[in-house]
Amino acid sequence: MFSIITSNTEQTEEVGRVLGSMLEPGDLVCLFGDLGAGKTHFSFGIAQGLQVRDQYITSPTFTFVNEYRGRIPFYHIDLYRLKDPSELESIGFEEYIDSDGATVIEWAEQAEDELPADKLNVYFSDVSENSRELGFFAEGERYEKLLADLKKTIGDKKVIEIK
């Protein structure tokens, strides 16, 4: 586990971009945090790292899932409006998680009981009006390696404070 302090949305997107460039088919990234904490900016960065060409990456709050094509498929799920976990079946939740692409879930706490054991969790919290702390917690061997690679790459950039 480690955390990163970003000073603005561009840095939050940059961390997402670096992570996105490392994601492989089947990877799952779960995002946790309050409204306005930076989850969608981070997801936009992941899309850039996955080489998604669509300029309009938006949070799928009303549709639950947006699909994008890039280096590998990118499945962006937003569970903010989920009323009951039984709704997950109707959006094909399990198929996205067990897929040929990278899946990012905003408001992952809404489906915590349905998430697989292996995943990368990212916790967003406000430090100040513009600064955010992104806490990364890996569950499973694949994600421990991914997290170590991310920490090394971000550390080499020396742009963002790592704790």
pLDDT at 20 over 90: yes
DSSP secondary structure string, 140-160? SHHHHHHHHHHHHHHHHHTSS
Structure tokens at 148: 């170590």
Q: Is the pLDDT of residue 140 over 70?
A: yes
Mean pLDDT value across residues 86-96? 78
Considering the entire predicted model, what is its pTM?
0.89
Q: Domain map of the chain by residue range?
A: 7-128+142-158
3-class state of residue 105 by DSSP: strand
What CATH fold (topology level) applies to the domain 7-128+142-158? Rossmann fold (3.40.50)
In 3D, which of 48, 36, 24 has the Cα closest to residue 120?
24
> Is pLDDT larger for residue 156 or for residue 81?
81
